[in-house]
Amino acid sequence: MAQLTGKIALVTGGASGIGRQTALRFAAEGAKVVVADVQDGPGAEVVTEIEKNGGEALYLHLDVTSEEAWAAAVATVTEKYGVLDVLVNNAGLGQADTLETTSLALYEKVVAVTQTSVFLGTKAFAPLLKLSTAASVVNTSSIFGASGGFGTSPAYHAAKGAVRTLTKNIAIEWAPLNIRVNSVHPGFIETAMMGDTDKEPYIATTPLGRVGQPHEVAAAITFLASDDASFITGAELFVDGGYIAR
Ligand code: NAI
């Protein structure tokens, strides 16, 4: 049997990069996948690809910063499936500024997309997750949620650090319900977020000597989402080529 047979899953940021690979992998493992993003064209293409491969998926326009949008997503999933087994809070927004060049507006925007979204989404879907017999929430944090990185991107570091501890807090609250909540911490992954920046500093600080690929993070998310991880909650799984071990 595939790892996620029969599970209903929702992946935010599912149109691109790590979220896209996660949606594709989930479907290949037997899940029905709700691909949620604000990039409607690329999101719909992910659904088409899943369907072409014989899987089931639907695209949902969902701005993860909007409580109303989350309520609408819950209504759609309730009507279509009546339950949610796997929630992947993966959407995020990077930044590359220093502390003094980070405006309050930018700080709040990065926190809204990267951090507050996890609170809003998990809270909104709580009733549907509680209807599952073995629910799993996977939050995408970062190596930058557990280190000072290069001493830039303060809003991103603050937001990802909050995702790490929020994950553990909800894991404790929901452990008696058998709802597992874990975080994945990607290292430097070749996606749109990385863009065309010079990869040398990434490679130099990564013991495995290369950047990662989104499917390598998707594999870890799939494991945490699956019943193979049935005794794992409140954990942080680094997918970083050894970055955090230095
Ligand atoms: P990406 O840029 O390929 O994907 C991010 C997706 O999030 C995009 O499809 C984008 O449209 C979506 N998104 C942005 N704002 C949104 C909003 N308000 N509502 C809904 N969706 C929204 O980047 P990537 O790398 O796949 O990022 C996925 C996650 O992985 C993010 O949380 C990121 O912070 C995290 N991450 C990425 C690393 C990397 O090196 N690429 C390293 C560590 C963490």
Q: Report which of 39, 36, 72, 35 is spatially closest to residue 57, judged by C-alpha positions.
A: 35
Q: What is the pLDDT, as a whole number, of residue 123?
A: 99
Q: Binning pLDDT at 50, 70 and 90, where does residue 131 land?
A: very high
> How many Cβ atoms from other residues are within 10 Å of residue 165's Cβ?
13
* 235, two tokens: 């954990």
Q: Report which of 124, 118, 119 is spatially closest to residue 140, judged by C-alpha positions.
A: 118
What is the CA(89)–ligand 1 centre distance, in A? 10
Q: For this structure, is 81 an active site residue?
A: no
Q: What is the pLDDT, as a whole number, of residue 43?
A: 98
Q: Express each pLDDT in 146-191 by its tens digit.
A: 999 999 999 999 999 999 999 999 999 999 999 999 999 999 999 9
* 111, two tokens: 């926190």
What is the CA(13)–ligand 1 centre distance, in A? 6
Q: What is the pLDDT, as a whole number, of residue 126?
A: 99
- With a Cβ cut-off of 6 Å, ligand 1 is lined by 12-13, 15-19, 37-39, 62-65, 90-94, 113, 140, 142, 186, 188-189, 191-194, 214
Query: Which atom of ligand 1 is nearest the CA belonging to 42?
Result: 9
What is the CA(93)–ligand 1 centre distance, in A? 6
Query: Which atom of ligand 1 is nearest the CA belonging to 64?
Result: 19
* Average pLDDT in the chain: 98
* Residue of the CA atom closest to atom 32 of ligand 1: 92
Q: What is the pLDDT, as a whole number, of residue 74?
A: 99
1 has a pLDDT exceeding 90: no
What is the CA(107)–ligand 1 centre distance, in A? 16
* Residue of the CA atom closest to atom 34 of ligand 1: 92
Q: What are residue 212's phi and psi, to 5 degrees?
A: -90, 170
